[in-house]
Chains A and B, each alone.
Chain A
Amino acid sequence: MRLKDRSKAMRLTKMYAVLCSGIVLAAAFGCGGGGDTVKADSKVVYINSSGGDLDVQLRKSYWDPFTKETGIKVINSAPVDNAKLVTMVKSGNVEWDITELSGGGEMPRDSAGGYLEKIDKSQLPLADLFPASVTDYAVWAAAYSTVLTWDLKKWPMSGKHPTGIMDLWNQKDFPGPRSIQKGALDNIEFGVLHAGVPQDKVYPVDLDLAFKELDKLKPNVSVYWTSGAQSVQAITDGEAVMGTTWNGRPYQANNEGANLGIAWDDANLKMSWYAIPKGTKNYDNAMKLMAYQMDATRQAQVAEGSGYAGGNLKTGDLLSEALKPYFATLPEHLKVTVVSDENWWKDNGPNAEQQFISWVTR
């Protein structure tokens, strides 16, 4: 390059360098603080839920009709992530206007922790809802149970087949690899039940007893599932012959051609909740959507599609026969089901999960 050109190049480079540095420094000092990225908007509501087939059903039965009736667009996201909720509220950058919360103590923990807005009960059809299904901060989204599922090809209903969770340990009659959830939730209850503790004495859970019993199951566990889809995939893919899952999953899978059985003895019933994160910008729209989802007919529709229903007392009457074997709150199922103690989980959850990680890596 000629000397003159080189100098020009140098000068341009220097200008560029100064410009870039200026921009970075300005950005570093200029955009301090959370910043409002989600604006209040009268025409939109953001909902977060578990995803999968359930979301497809929710869109059909709840969200699209809601938009048609009120003109408010419903934008959904997945999956349910309690840690994300807490982080959002703490940082002041709340993306969800209404979210689902899973069982296992999340709802009491979040309520006590101040991460949720108080709900406006006047907008809900309180007379039609299970009394226990409404708290100051949340309403039931769905009742769901952890049940046993297995490959019907191996043990069809016509012959000897598994009848409940305890058959996980039964290698004599039903040999083969098992699939259980990766986490303490449900597994420790199943452990103490197998050790002989009666259903009404499961809580408070004796963790040492639970893990000692689970040690007997461990050599046969080949899959530790972390998502609902994986819990049925493990059986249909042949990674396990029998495992735990949530009651709606085999229903959805069988509707799509799978061949899965379901058994209820010693199942564990939990509630998922709808709640409004603290600091949301669209509280009114969120409450409107929450109330909209409490209607019996619509809840029945969702149940038919996904296997899960909410807290409206009248929903049970509207269910079809095909759904009944998979339905969590059917009286025959409730008789043999253990109801999860959310308050025990609120206080002991982190420790139990911690011990599970210890157990699972041993």
Chain B
Amino acid sequence: MSVTTSSVGRSLLTVGRRRQLTAGLLVTPALGLILLLFMIPLVRLIVHSFTTPTLGLQNYSDALMDRTTWRIIRITIEIAFECTAVSLLIGYPVAYLMATSSKRATKVILLFVLLPFWTSILVRMYAWMIILGTKGMINDALLAARVIDDPVKLLYTRFAVILGMIHYLLPFMILSLYSTMTGIDRDLMQSSSTLGASGWQSFWRVYFPLSAPGVFAGSLLVFILGLGFFVTPALLGGPRDTTMPMYIQQRVAVLQFDQATAIAVVLVVIVLILFAIYDRILGFDRLFGGLGT
């Protein structure tokens, strides 16, 4: 019978070390891909913003001295925040339902949650344009029911943008919440009511805090994703729904690549700042802790 792990001759690499090496090698493909397709272009972008057309902060002063840039930053953060709040409000009950239902029911709900992923986002946005338009389904229904006399302007509004973005982002929120909620021991709720807590108290003081990691993770994910939206605000939004990505695209379209790189870097910096604030207030370790252990 042979000893299969480290034999005497291989004492240089202990089992622990070799496991680390293997882990490192396993991660290399993924890291390599991120490095190649993400980090290197990002670094080149940052370098470009500081060196073209001249060395220095010219691009940044051009971008940041313009009041429009700040206006658009505000709009972008606003939209992302509103999406996060709404998707949390809608997503939490759905995730709760999924986490507390029978296996079969959960699968059915999961199917509906994931269904949007199977259609192209562009097709979905055009569908929204048809539904929300002046001669669209919603206005037709409201007019037929005599609820309104004139069509309501639903398209090219902030409402339409949020609706379109939620359509895309809700599954991310729901799945984040769900993955945390499945780890919550339901007996805890029972114990809490045994000890005299009302239904609401049990939920608010026992269940909700335990689901917090999912809430934070889901919110962070949806918020960051929401900052980067281009297609939805462009197709469904009005002029005051111009986001940073759209702004960058506009600069590229008039061949002002240099300013575009500076604005792109500003967006990255904003995300990092928000990350830091998030960590300071809520703490990243909350994302990884508290799975009802």
Q: Which of A7-15, A43-51, A128-136, A336-344 contacts B (4 or more CB under 8 A)?
A: A7-15
Are B32 and A350 in contact, with the CB atoms below 8 A? no
Among B52-87, those with CB < 8 Å from A are 66-68, 71-72, 75
The verdict on A361 contacting chain B, using a C-beta distance below 8 Å, is yes
Are B26 and A13 in contact, with the CB atoms below 8 A? yes
The verdict on B100 contacting chain A, using a C-beta distance below 8 Å, is no
Task: Give the shortest distance, in Å, between A180 (CB) and chain B (any CB).
Answer: 10
The verdict on A314 contacting chain B, using a C-beta distance below 8 Å, is no
Using Cβ atoms and an 8 Å threshold, which residues of chain A touch B36?
24, 27-28
Among A66-87, those with CB < 8 Å from B are 82-83, 86
Bound together, the chains give a CA A238 to CA B71 distance in angstroms of 30
Bound together, the chains give a CA A239 to CA B68 distance in angstroms of 27
Bound together, the chains give a CA A109 to CA B256 distance in angstroms of 12
Bound together, the chains give a CA A13 to CA B26 distance in angstroms of 8
Task: Give the shortest distance, in Å, between B248 (CB) and chain A (any CB).
Answer: 11
Are B4 and A4 in contact, with the CB atoms below 8 A? yes
Chain A residues within 8 Å of chain B by Cβ, number: 37
Partner of B26, one of A17, A86, A357, A361: A17
Task: Give the shortest distance, in Å, between A184 (CB) and chain B (any CB).
Answer: 10
Bound together, the chains give a CA A6 to CA B15 distance in angstroms of 14
The verdict on A297 contacting chain B, using a C-beta distance below 8 Å, is no
CB 8 Å contact bits of A172-186 with B (1 = contact, 0 = none): 000000000010000
Using Cβ atoms and an 8 Å threshold, which residues of chain B touch A23?
29
The verdict on B111 contacting chain A, using a C-beta distance below 8 Å, is no
Among A1-59, those with CB < 8 Å from B are 3-4, 6-7, 10, 13-14, 17-18, 20-21, 23-25, 27-28
Bound together, the chains give a CA A4 to CA B3 distance in angstroms of 9
Among A135-191, those with CB < 8 Å from B are 182
Q: Which of A221-229, A261-269, A320-328 contacts B (4 or more CB under 8 A)?
A: A221-229
Are A24 and B255 in contact, with the CB atoms below 8 A? no
CB 8 Å contact bits of A250-266 with B (1 = contact, 0 = none): 00000000000000000
Are A353 and B156 in contact, with the CB atoms below 8 A? no
Q: Which of B169-177, B203-211, B239-247 contacts A (4 or more CB under 8 A)?
A: B239-247
Bound together, the chains give a CA A361 to CA B250 distance in angstroms of 13
Are B255 and A3 in contact, with the CB atoms below 8 A? no
Are B254 and A353 in contact, with the CB atoms below 8 A? yes
Are B250 and A24 in contact, with the CB atoms below 8 A? no
The verdict on A237 contacting chain B, using a C-beta distance below 8 Å, is yes
- Chain B, Cβ-Cβ closest to A355: B68
The verdict on A349 contacting chain B, using a C-beta distance below 8 Å, is yes
Are B133 and A237 in contact, with the CB atoms below 8 A? yes
Q: Known interface pairs A28-B36, A238-B151. Does A361 touch B75 (Cβ–Cβ under 8 Å)?
A: yes
The verdict on B28 contacting chain A, using a C-beta distance below 8 Å, is yes
Task: Give the shortest distance, in Å, between A230 (CB) and chain B (any CB).
Answer: 9
Q: Known interface pairs A6-B4, A17-B22, A224-B239. Does A350 touch B254 (Cβ–Cβ under 8 Å)?
A: yes
Are A361 and B25 in contact, with the CB atoms below 8 A? no
Using Cβ atoms and an 8 Å threshold, which residues of chain A touch B32?
21, 24-25, 28
Using Cβ atoms and an 8 Å threshold, which residues of chain B touch A28?
32, 35-36
The verdict on A358 contacting chain B, using a C-beta distance below 8 Å, is yes
Q: Known interface pairs A28-B36, A222-B153. Does A361 touch B71 (Cβ–Cβ under 8 Å)?
A: yes
The verdict on A360 contacting chain B, using a C-beta distance below 8 Å, is yes
Q: Known interface pairs A28-B32, A237-B133, A360-B242. Does A14 touch B155 (Cβ–Cβ under 8 Å)?
A: no
23 contacts between A and B (CB under 8 A): A4-B4, A14-B22, A17-B25, A17-B26, A17-B28, A24-B33, A27-B36, A28-B35, A82-B255, A83-B252, A83-B254, A86-B255, A182-B239, A222-B156, A226-B234, A238-B133, A349-B254, A354-B68, A357-B247, A358-B67, A360-B242, A361-B68, A362-B71
**Which A residues have a C-beta under 8 Å from some C-beta of B?**
3-4, 6-7, 10, 13-14, 17-18, 20-21, 23-25, 27-28, 82-83, 86, 109, 182, 222-224, 226, 237-239, 349-350, 353-354, 357-358, 360-362
15 new A-B contacts, CB < 8 A, other than A238-B135, A358-B66, are A4-B4, A10-B22, A13-B22, A17-B22, A17-B25, A17-B29, A83-B253, A83-B254, A182-B239, A222-B153, A349-B254, A354-B68, A354-B254, A360-B239, A360-B242
